[in-house]
Amino acid sequence: MAISLKSLKRTTAVLPPRFLVYGPPGLGKTTFASEFPNPVYIQVEDGTPAGLEISTFGHLQSFAEVMEALYALANEEHDYQTVVIDSIDKLEPLVWAQTCADNRWDDIESPGYGKGYIAADAVWREFFTVINLLRNAGMAIVHIAHSAIDRFDDPQTTSYSRYDIRIHKRAMALFQDDCDAILFLNQDVTVKEKDAGFGKKEAKATGGGNRFIFTEGRPSFVAKNRYGFPEKILYRQGEGFAAIAPYLPGAAPAAQAAE
């Protein structure tokens, strides 16, 4: 078919969202993911919050098992609407193990000079290929990850610490490229200074215990979104998806159902 300017047409993206939700342990990431429409879990870490009932293939312990579960969702009939990967920082060692098996290495550091992590990109891309097959078939994607506090060397100012996603920087870049939103779930914290005597100040962290979904990046953490979310959203258990759904293409009815 010949392509010309007459071939242009206007369209609106309506594909389901791809999320990465990360933060410190115990704040409700897995529970938040369970609030998405009819989720199924790809569990690569053992353990589920008490009282939370989920659909799961069980504890998957190899990259091959993860891919087998994803292909089952891609090829078999089902009514699941969201696939949850719990968690990608536990999936990463399985990706490394598969990379080592493919290359007959003892461990991911064997080839030296970071070459193992570069080779792991190919295995991660196999994963993303199937993830995006599911998305194109109409499933929303939720990747769960834990956070780590890392030193960040900012070329514009002095170095500082910030929350990062607890995976290798190469894998982090792949997820940042592939995801439509990276959400940071954490408590609100206010730091107050008080006089400690002798001309010194003492910093004390306080907070109301509220949990927030942060949607825009700051020097202290990574976040982004393509949906025009508010800068931060109060997270109440059972209401997290309802709070973000009105901003998602075609998801407003699901938000009303969740209320």
**What is the tens place of the pLDDT at every residue in 193-221?**
555 454 554 544 445 578 999 999 998 89
Q: Residue 163: what pLDDT?
A: 92
Q: Is residue 117 over pLDDT 50?
A: yes
Q: Residue 258: what pLDDT?
A: 40
Reported as a single tens digit per residue, the pLDDT across 67-98 is 999 999 999 999 999 999 999 999 999 999 99
Q: Residue 180: what pLDDT?
A: 96
pTM here is 0.86
Q: Residue 203: what pLDDT?
A: 43
Q: Residue 36: what pLDDT?
A: 97
Give the range among 153-157, 194-198, 246-250 with minimum mean pLDDT: 194-198
Rounded mean pLDDT, 2-21: 83
Q: Residue 257: what pLDDT?
A: 39
For the domain made up of 15-250, give the CATH fold.
Rossmann fold (3.40.50)
Domain boundaries of the chain, sorted by first residue: 15-250
Q: Is residue 259 over pLDDT 50?
A: no
Instruction: Give residue 46's pLDDT band: very low, low, confident or very high (50, 70, 90).
Output: confident
Q: Residue 172: what pLDDT?
A: 96
Q: Is residue 13 over pLDDT 70?
A: no
Extract long-range pairs of 42-48: CB within 8 Å, 24+ residues apart. Answer: 42/66, 42/69, 42/70, 42/83, 42/84, 42/85, 42/86, 43/86, 44/85, 44/86, 44/87, 44/90, 44/91, 44/94, 45/86, 45/87, 45/90
Residue 85: exposure state from Cβ atoms within 10 A (0-12, 13-18, ≥19): buried
Residue 82: in which H helix or E strand, if any?
strand 82-86
Q: Which residue has the higher pLDDT, 160 or 243?
A: 243
pLDDT more than 90, % of the chain: 69
pLDDT more than 70, % of the chain: 84
Residue by residue, DSSP assigns 203-231 as EEEE----EEEE-S-BTTB--EESS---S
Q: Is residue 190 over pLDDT 80?
A: no
Rounded mean pLDDT, 21-33: 93
Q: Residue 151: what pLDDT?
A: 79
Whole-number average pLDDT of the chain: 87
Give the range among 4-13, 25-34, 138-147 with minimum mean pLDDT: 4-13
Q: Residue 4: what pLDDT?
A: 82
- Helix, strand, or coil (residue 235): strand
Q: Is residue 189 over pLDDT 80?
A: no
